[in-house]
Each structure stands twice: as C-alpha cells, then as structure tokens.
Amino acid sequence: MRLIIVGTGVMAKNQLDHFTRIDGVEVVGAVDSDANRLAAFADKWGIEKRFLSLDEAIAWGDFDAASNVTPDRVHHPTTLALIAAGKHVFCEKPLAENYEKALEMTEAAERAGVINMVNLTYRNVAPLQRARQMVLAGEIGTVKHVEASYLQSWLVSKAWGDWRTESTWLWRLSTGHGSNGVLGDVGIHILDFAAYGAATDIDHVFARLKTFNKAPGGQIGEYMLDANDSFAMSVDFANGALGVIHASRWATGHLNELKLRIYGERGGLEVMHRTGESELRGCVGDDAESAVWKTIEVAPVPTNYERFVEAVATGVQPDPNFRHAANLQKVLDLAMVTERERKESKV
C-alpha cells in the first residue's frame, strides 16, 4: 500500500512508528502547511515526496491511501478532498468538530466506496478487547453499572511540553481553533472505551463541562483559552445500564490513564491502561462472594494501523469506521447542549 501522511505533528510521529513496521506499507509522501515541520519529519523518515498543501499531493496522485493527522478542524475539508480523489482514508479522531460534518464525511466515504477508519487508538488495548469478549459471552451477566475515566495532567505538568507556548497544545484549548476541549479531544476515546467494553451503546447523556481561567484575560496570543478542561457525564446505555464517565487535563499524577469498570449481575471487570502498561482484572464466579480481584491474562491484538492496512488489501470495511465515529460525535454534541440547557438529552 502506498500511503501518504497529511499533517506531520506530534501524532504523525507516533503513527509512523507503527505504519513503517507493517509489511507492504510504503510511506511515499508527506503533507504539511508548515515547511519546517514537513522537512524535519520527511528527513527523519526518509520520505521523498513533500507537499505544502494536500491539493498538490492529490494532483500528483501516486498513492492509494492517506492518514489524516491534521488538527481536528482540518479533518473535514482534507478528508472530503481525499475521498473525492478516490483514496482510502485513515482519519485521526475526532472525525470532525460536530456531527453534521462527521456525517457528511461518512456519507461521502460510503458513497465513494473507499475504506474509511477512525483512529480510536484504545481499541489497540488487548484487555479492552478481552473485557468486551467476556461481556458478550455473558461471563459477568447483564451489565448494570459502568464507570469510566480518562485522566491527563498536561495543564499541570510539563512532561509533554509547555501548553503556554506550543501550538500543539494551544489549539486544543481554543474553540476558535476548532477544539471542543477535553470533551472533543479525549471524550471520544473514553466514550468509545466505555461503550465498546460494555458492549452496548450510549442512548441518553447529561454532562457538565468546565473551563478554568488559565491566563490573564483567558487568552495567549491568537488563542482564546475557552475550550473545556474537565467534564463529568452521566449516561444511560441501550441495554439499560447506568454509567458515569469523566475526563480532565488537570489530573495531577496521571499523564495518560484510562480506566473502565464494568459491573454485571454476576461479576465485575476492570480495564486499566497507561502508556506502555495495560491490565484486565476480574471479580467473577465465586470471587464475587469474597470480593477478590484477579488479573486475567490477555493475548495481544492487532492494532488499528494493521487492521487498516488489511482492510485496504481485502476491501472489507474495518471497525471503527467513520459512521461509528459520527455516532459518537452525536453524543459529544448533545453533551454540549446538556451543559447549556442543564437537561438530559436522548441520543
């Protein structure tokens, strides 16, 4: 597969660590509107073709698929252009800034018949996949209650760089730069983590969002720091279970941690994921009486990157596809409405 990378920032480096290890993948081009970032990236990965705009790359056209790693608000126009050129697209999350745009991208991809996938990275977490299998196999009985959290600390810690000076963080703090804050950024990950693990969909939502003042006048240069930093949400699932889901960028001591607890009528499961470290624990069968939790061994699973490459080779649409991400975007949009109206919404 001849692949191009559109957007050569922080996440693109992470993606290439994966794509370049997959047999049959040739990264043949890179696109970025920032010439310095483009040159540094293409030099590091030995990519010959370099373009300052996607239009130039499409005019050249000698590629099968693109990975779209641009900022959130750029996904919509660039993905539509790639689809119109008949290219398969692996798009970063969130698919778009709102449901309307996400749906337009979904319908365009489906009409064109191109392979479309969204990088909900935590599908790569083997314990999550095993937890879902156990739920589907009825090992904990009907799911009744779900707790999920996504904690980051980059507003407190400089471990990932300084949000006060680096554009990669500043655009994430500004609605004018297309960000829906922590809700849009990692909310989509944790909603997917919770609903996929519990093997049911979210059908009602009520959320509270908070934006804390972080700079004099709430502004740094061109960036108004008005996007939410923390959210807390209650949800109903289609199977009748109740859930609480929350996320924050202020969670000191947690660089990047996802946690999911699923309680069924006969047992409980807990999935924990931190960078480079994941675990599944269960309290099932007789252990429910003594409240003993045991680690459950899990086998590795293929990554989204590997599954996208396979989908392009076989022509079979992978999961999570654009339609799934658009449906999650609908929940995120409604969460923002509930914050304004202070009233639960049906998805």
Ligand X SMILES: NC(=O)c1ccc[n+]([C@@H]2O[C@H](COP(=O)([O-])OP(=O)(O)OC[C@H]3O[C@@H](n4cnc5c(N)ncnc54)[C@H](O)[C@@H]3O)[C@@H](O)[C@H]2O)c1
Q: Pick the closer one to ligand X by CB: 72 or 270.
A: 72
Alpha carbon distance 192, 132 (integer Å)? 12
In angstroms, the Cα distances linking 169 to 7, 156, 162, 177 are 15, 13, 8, 11
Alpha carbon distance 278, 300 (integer Å)? 11
Q: What is the dihedral of CA 203, 305, 118, 275, to 10 degrees?
A: 60
* Shortest Å, Cβ 282 to ligand X: 26
Alpha carbon distance 143, 4 (integer Å)? 42
* Shortest Å, Cβ 78 to ligand X: 6
Q: Pick the closer one to ligand X by CB: 5 or 25.
A: 5
Q: Pick the closer one to ligand X by CB: 144 or 274.
A: 274
Nearest partner of 180 among 328, 300, 18, judged by Cα:
328
Q: Pick the closer one to ligand X by CB: 16 or 103.
A: 16
Nearest residue to ligand X on Cβ basis: 9
At a CB cut-off of 8 Å and minimum separation 6, what does 160 contact?
154, 169, 255
* Shortest Å, Cβ 220 to ligand X: 15
Helix-then-strand count for the chain, H and E:
12, 17
* Shortest Å, Cβ 321 to ligand X: 15
* Shortest Å, Cβ 140 to ligand X: 28
Alpha carbon distance 301, 134 (integer Å)? 15
* Shortest Å, Cβ 79 to ligand X: 11
Chain residues in the site for ligand X (CB under 6 A): 6-12, 31-34, 37, 54, 69-72, 74, 92-93, 119, 121, 167-168, 185
Q: Pick the closer one to ligand X by CB: 284 or 325.
A: 325
Q: Pick the closer one to ligand X by CB: 34 or 226.
A: 34
Alpha carbon distance 284, 266 (integer Å)? 7
